[in-house]
């Protein structure tokens, strides 16, 4: 499979680390969606890492092994697993973050109050 890029050389023995106490079960269509994200080149790197982590956990991989393969910390793998269980695929997207409002609107227009700053 596509998300098994880093295979272990343990000869099929159980790897070290705790197995997930968070039961991750997914339907075939959810698995297909996550696998599709991994195949696309336009998928953001963070989203692809989360999808790969969830797929590995669903296949029975431990948190520690998943964290090593996906190059995330174990606590972040747990966080994304909990969000996936609670919200499904939508839980893997980044949440809105607080921050300063943009000076210029994303459409390229001027935000209210900024019209006088541009030279005409």
pLDDT value at residue 111: 53
11 lies in a domain?
no
Domain around 50: 28-95
Within-domain flag for 7: no
pLDDT digits (tens, 9 = 90+) for 65-107: 999 999 999 999 999 999 999 999 999 998 888 888 777 766 6
Residue 104 located in a structural domain: no
Q: Decide: pTM greater than 0.75.
A: no
Whether 78 contacts 20, CB under 8 Å: no
Angle, helix 45-58 to helix 63-70, in steps of 10 degrees: 150
Is residue 67 domain-resident? yes
Structure token pair of residue 6: 């880093």
How many domains in the chain?
Answer: 1
17 within domain boundaries: no
Residue 111 belongs to some domain of the structure: no
Residue 1 domain-assigned (yes or no): no
DSSP state string for 57-88: HHTT--HHHHHHHHTS-HHHHHHHHHHHHHHG
pLDDT at 120 over 80: no
* 114 within domain boundaries: no
Number of alpha carbons in the 13 Å side-chain half-sphere of residue 18? 8
Residue 43 DSSP one-character state: S
């Amino acid at each position: 499979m596509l998300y098994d890029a880093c295979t272990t050389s343990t000869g099929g023995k159980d790897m070290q680390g705790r197995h997930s106490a968070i039961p991750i079960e997914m339907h075939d269509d959810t698995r297909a969606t996550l696998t599709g994200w991994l195949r696309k080149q336009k998928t953001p790197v963070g989203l692809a890492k989360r999808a790969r982590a969830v797929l590995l956990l669903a296949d029975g991989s431990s948190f520690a092994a998943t964290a090593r393969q996906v190059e995330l910390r174990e606590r972040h793998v747990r966080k994304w697993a909990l969000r996936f269980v609670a919200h499904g695929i939508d839980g893997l997207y980044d949440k809105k973050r607080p921050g300063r409002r943009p000076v210029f609107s994303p459409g390229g227009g001027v935000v209210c109050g900024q019209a006088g700053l541009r030279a005409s």
